[in-house]
Homo-oligomer: A and B are copies of this chain.
Amino acid sequence: MTFEIKYKDARGRVGILKTPHGRIKTPALMPVIHPGKQILPVDDYGADLVITNAYLIYKNDLLREKALEEGVHNLIDFSGPVITDSGSYQLSLYGDVQVSNQMIVEFQEKIGTDIGTSLDIPTPPFVKRERAEKDLEITIQRAKESLEVRDKMMLNSVVQGSTYLDLRSRCADILGSMDFQVHPIGAVVPLLESYRYREVVEVIMASVTHLPDSRPRHLMGAGHPMVFALAVALGCDLFDSAAYILYAEDDRLMMPNGTYKLDKLQEMPCYCEVCSSHTPDELRGMAKKGRSLLLAQHNLEVSFGEIRTIRQAIIDGSLWELIEQRCRSHPYLLDALRILKNYQEDLEKYDPPYKRSAFFYSGPESLNRPEVYRHLKRLQQIPKKNKVLLLPPSDKPYSQHIAAISGKFYGTKKGNFENSIIKKLLEPSEINLPLPAIKDIQIVVVDIPFALIPLELDQVYPLAQNESPTNYDEDAKEMVRKVLQNYIYNFEETVISENVLKSFDLDLSNLDLEKEFQITETVILGVEDLDRIVYIADYQFGYGAGRALFNGPIKVVKSRKTGKIRHIYLDGGEGDVEKLIATLRASDGVFVLASEGARRLHQYFPYPRNRVVINQEAEPFARKGKSIFAKFVINCDIDIRAKDEVLIVNEDDQLLAFGKSVLNGMEITDFNTGQAVKTRKGGF
């Protein structure tokens, strides 16, 4: 296979695509090369691969002969990988082309294209369904034919289906089941040109959710850096740009946040080499040809810079922050960002739960991020207590800053019972938490954007690693109100700080609050170590994992410097690697398994939960602690997320090793190249 993933964020990936002419890092931008009249040495600006048009070469006698004799790489004077298009674009422009599908595929192979394309039908948006269906039939039939025609050439197969999302998905399913190497998503240019970014998102999502994860997707014709970040976050890997030269010839400068017309500029609003060394007047005073070259250079520099920025954001785990900035440049992009709410469940599966970057709140859209969706879901898998005490936020981590509380509170009760939390809170001498007497009170901090943070989880990523404005927007308040009202319904008794009510405009009557009281003497709050580690394990691995891991006599070892929990051993095992169960990673507050922990989880969770199952061939390597490549995996828990701690077993469910997943469960299943799991330890 030809593609592997190195880093992931959102649905985006930094990957490596192998071609006969070399390995390409994705996301990648391919400048469109006009065969025979290319004006800029695009490789000077960072182009590792390019795209050119096989049909234009085919139609021109001179170009055709030269390409057949010397190959397409010599024809366009580019030594890296070359993708060729088939004439579909000309078909969409002129309604007809003078070549058959079979002929153009054969031709591409003959001229040595790295990745060729069949003659698909680019059905425009918003056509009648009948036409979209008819076109699609031809596209799929030609795709099949191209497989029969090609010898060794890698093949594109373009997802079409107009704006009918079910057709896009059906097309993706069918093409994805066949032996293609790359999947362009076609005919989105009319949508992009009319700023219909919302429909672009819908078309991409209908396609990528039905395409194999193991193949790169190319958003055909999307050459403006405004949309790169969003498209990458949805799973697109390749872009082509004829725009850099077309915009330049029209005296327009592309930027990641829009387009400037040279004739309206008094200042060069950019810091690329061209803009730093020329004034608008100088550029306007130049001859057209020289000016176009400089503007094309600007457009390329900015486009490649944006691709690098996106790759770095994936590596840093800050791709959401980047797209939330980029999507502010046009209200219709913001609209597109807002409908990602409809794809939360899917996006959560692809988005790694642990990142290098903190979560930055940039507006109501941040509430729809996978991290928030995941947290609210995982809240349901931690241990339940009977009573709940809701507090306003402090600095993070909360447990280190709200050691003591006082002020005005409200209490509820269910049925005819006295509110026992109130009673305890008003008897401060008794209530230096944690005390066995009130171990059944769940202390929860109410904050943006994660709504409810049980104090036991206050050091877990991203509950401690996030920043929000203190001035809440209405969407944030509304979200908290809804979540909180549902949550307290599960408790026998609730006590809530007046500050929480005020901050989120909570309605007393909706909450069934009746008792108002004042804590004057300071009450000390805290979290028991055992509670903390059990909660974290349940939150990280699923309900019950905590008790399974930390069953029996254990010893908790803390950092002398920070006082935070570091290692959990079997009792008496401090420093004894064999007796280490798990380590709490300081950077994100979740567990890294040790051998004993892996054994315990393996015993507790039924097959194939939390497991990556490998074949016999790979077994000895796994036992030796070597990392697991995707091609050796024969089964796996589909619910694994990238960066999860996973168990590596054989077909008989014998535990061989454990490690950190590179991909999610669906990707591990689909991929046949690259690492699936970085093994921490074998030796079982």
Which residues of A are in contact with B by a Cβ distance under 8 Å? Answer: 45-46, 257, 260, 264-273, 275-276, 301-302, 304-306, 308-309, 311-313, 315-316, 321, 324-325, 328-332, 334-335, 338-339, 356, 360-364, 467-471, 473-475, 477-478
Contacts and interface: CB of A to CB of B under 8 A. Distances in A.
Given A328-B328, A331-B467, A332-B469, A266 B312 contact: yes
Given A271-B302, A330-B360, A266 B311 contact: yes
Contacts of A325: 257, 325, 328-329
Contact of A471 (B304, B328, B329, B339): B339
Nearest to A339: B471
For A270, A271, A302, which residue has the most chain B Cβ atoms within 10 angstroms?
A: A271
Nearest to A311: B267
Given A364-B364, A364-B473, A469-B332, A272 B267 contact: no
Given A276-B305, A338-B471, A474-B478, 15 more contacts: A265-B312, A266-B311, A266-B312, A267-B311, A267-B315, A272-B272, A275-B308, A321-B329, A325-B325, A330-B360, A331-B468, A363-B363, A363-B473, A473-B473, A473-B474
Contacts of A260: 312
A471 B267 contact: no
Contacts of A328: 324-325, 328, 362-363
A325 B255 CA distance: 13
A470 B335 contact: yes
Contact of A45 (B276, B315, B329, B339): B276
A308 B312 CA distance: 26
Interface centre among A304, A305, A338, A469 (most CB of B within 10 A): A469
Contacts of A273: 272-273, 276
A45 B268 CA distance: 13
Nearest to A338: B471
Nearest to A365: B363
A330 B467 contact: yes
A364 B474 contact: yes
Contacts of A309: 267, 269-270
Given A312-B265, A334-B469, A335-B469, A276 B363 contact: no
Contacts of A470: 335
Contacts of A308: 267-270, 275
Q: Is the interface of A mostly helix, strand, loop or mixed?
A: helix
A503 to B, nearest CB: 14
Given A331-B362, A475-B475, A276 B272 contact: yes
List the 7 closest pairs (A to B, CB-CB), nearest first.
Answer: A271-B305, A474-B474, A335-B469, A269-B309, A267-B308, A273-B273, A331-B467
Contacts of A339: 471
A592 to B, nearest CB: 21
Contacts of A269: 305, 308-309, 312-313
Contacts of A475: 364, 473-475
Nearest to A467: B331
6 contacts: A331-B360, A331-B362, A331-B469, A334-B362, A363-B363, A364-B475
> Residue among A272, A302, A478 with the most chain B CB within 10 A?
A272
Contacts of A360: 329-331
A545 B559 CA distance: 75
Contact of A363 (B272, B332, B334): B334
Contacts of A271: 270-272, 301-302, 304-306
A478 B478 CA distance: 11
Contacts of A268: 305, 308
A301 B276 contact: yes
A46 B267 contact: no
A356 B264 CA distance: 10
B364 A305 contact: no
A309 B265 CA distance: 10
A199 to B, nearest CB: 12
A337 to B, nearest CB: 8
A670 to B, nearest CB: 25
Nearest to A301: B271
A317 B659 CA distance: 55
A475 B367 CA distance: 14
Contacts of A312: 260, 265-267, 269
Contacts of A301: 271, 276
A375 to B, nearest CB: 17
A402 to B, nearest CB: 20
A330 B306 CA distance: 19
Contacts of A338: 469, 471
A303 to B, nearest CB: 8
A305 B364 CA distance: 30
A304 B276 CA distance: 8
A336 to B, nearest CB: 9
A376 to B, nearest CB: 18
A548 to B, nearest CB: 36
Contact of A361 (B46, B311, B334): B334
Nearest to A479: B474
Nearest to A472: B338
A43 to B, nearest CB: 13
Contacts of A267: 308-309, 311-312, 315
Contacts of A45: 276
Nearest to A257: B325
Nearest to A275: B305
Given A272-B276, A301-B276, A328-B325, A471 B335 contact: yes
Contacts of A265: 312
Contacts of A257: 325
